[in-house]
Amino acid sequence: MQNAQELIEGSCSILLLTDDGIYAARDRLGRTPIVIGKKDGAYAATSETCAFPNLDYQIEKYLGPGEIIRITEEGMEQKKAPGDRMQICAFLWVYYGYPSSCYEGINVEDVRYRCGAALARNDDAVIDMVAGIPDSGIAHAIGYAIEAKVPYKRPFVKYTPTWPRSFMPQKQEVRDLVAKMKLIPIKELIEGQRVLFCEDSIVRGTQLQDIIQRVIDYGAKEVHMRPACPPLVYSCKFLNFSRSRSVLDLASRKAIREIEGDEDTDTPDEYADFSSEKYARMIASITRRLKLTSLQYQKLSDLVTAIGLPKERVCTYCWDGAE
């Protein structure tokens, strides 16, 4: 297991059931979590602590980066000590972590409230309501609404039976259809209103473009967007959470190509700098393409603060290219 973790590029956390116990191994940089739960002499290993409460398990141990343990009826035996360096994926808290889960003892829902509050503190938009793009945008929006003292409303309700996660299908047209059919608009809450949406992130932007157009068609006076993380400038090479076939699919890279006129732009570092002129031009391009009144992303420093871990222990590669 240790050899596999050293050879495999990306993230590889392993749970192995054998005749003499369960082996649990967290990937060498801790990008994905492994947590051990305990109750009445029984043990469980999972990546999501949300699996524990309804089964009456208590969190016993968060495995460290590269740590390997064996679990038997006698208890836990450490087979390999954890390494010093950790690079847990920040996107766990931003998007794909379950709200009731904790990673490194830090709850997902709490972090999303703090992300939303940080967005509000840096904003001066005059709006009538705050809304979240379901599902993961909701907690960010609640945090924003509480901090800004603006009503939180639901101009879209979600219908999920029979539909998969909208980012899962490989074909873009299928992803767009799924995203559209799952969100049902409420015209009475939209018409004539200045609406600010919080979203976990903007990856390709195609589904968001459709949502914004529907809000405009239903008579919104203004549509503002506040993603809870910075622009995704680099494609994840560790977990591939976005399902993008190419880094050029990213909304930020489309904007960079529009500005640079070069489809092979491999040095987007200046566009990842929040204070640069090129960053401002990139945001303006995305704003125009999405037909937004305004677009303001989360600062990376505010996101890291909301998570509550030192930056060097969090993977932020997709935003700043740091490894």
Q: What is the pLDDT of residue 215?
A: 97
For residue range 21-72, what is the model confidence (pLDDT) as tens digits? Answer: 999 999 999 999 999 999 998 999 999 999 999 999 999 999 999 999 999 9
Q: What is the pLDDT of residue 205?
A: 85
More reliable by pLDDT, 9 or 282:
282
* 172 pLDDT more than 80: no
Q: State the average pLDDT over residues 216-225.
A: 98
User: Please, what is the end-to-end C-alpha distance for the chain in angstroms?
Assistant: 23
Q: State the average pLDDT over residues 170-194.
A: 86
* 164 pLDDT more than 60: no
Q: How many CB atoms lie within 10 A of CB 256?
A: 25
Q: State the average pLDDT over residues 270-294.
A: 94
AA letter at 67:
E
Identify the burial level of 166 via C-beta atoms within 10 angstroms of its C-beta, where 0-12 means exposed, 13-18 middle and 19 or more buried.
middle
* 158 pLDDT more than 90: no
Q: What is the pLDDT of residue 238?
A: 84
* 75 pLDDT more than 60: yes
Q: State the average pLDDT over residues 151-164.
A: 84
DSSP 216-268: HHTT-SEEEEEESS----S--SSS-TT--SSGGGSHHHHHHHHHH--TT----
* 180 pLDDT more than 90: no
Q: Quick one: tokens of 230? A: 């910075």
Confidence of residue 170 (pLDDT cuts 50, 70, 90): low
Query: What are the beta bridge partners of residue 183?
Result: 158
AA letter at 166:
S
Domains in the chain: boundaries: 2-86, 92-320
d(CA 234, CA 121): 27
For residue range 192-216, what is the model confidence (pLDDT) as tens digits? Answer: 999 999 999 998 887 899 899 999 9
Pick the CATH number of 92-320 from 3.20.20.10, 3.40.50.2020, 3.65.10.10, 3.40.718.10: 3.40.50.2020
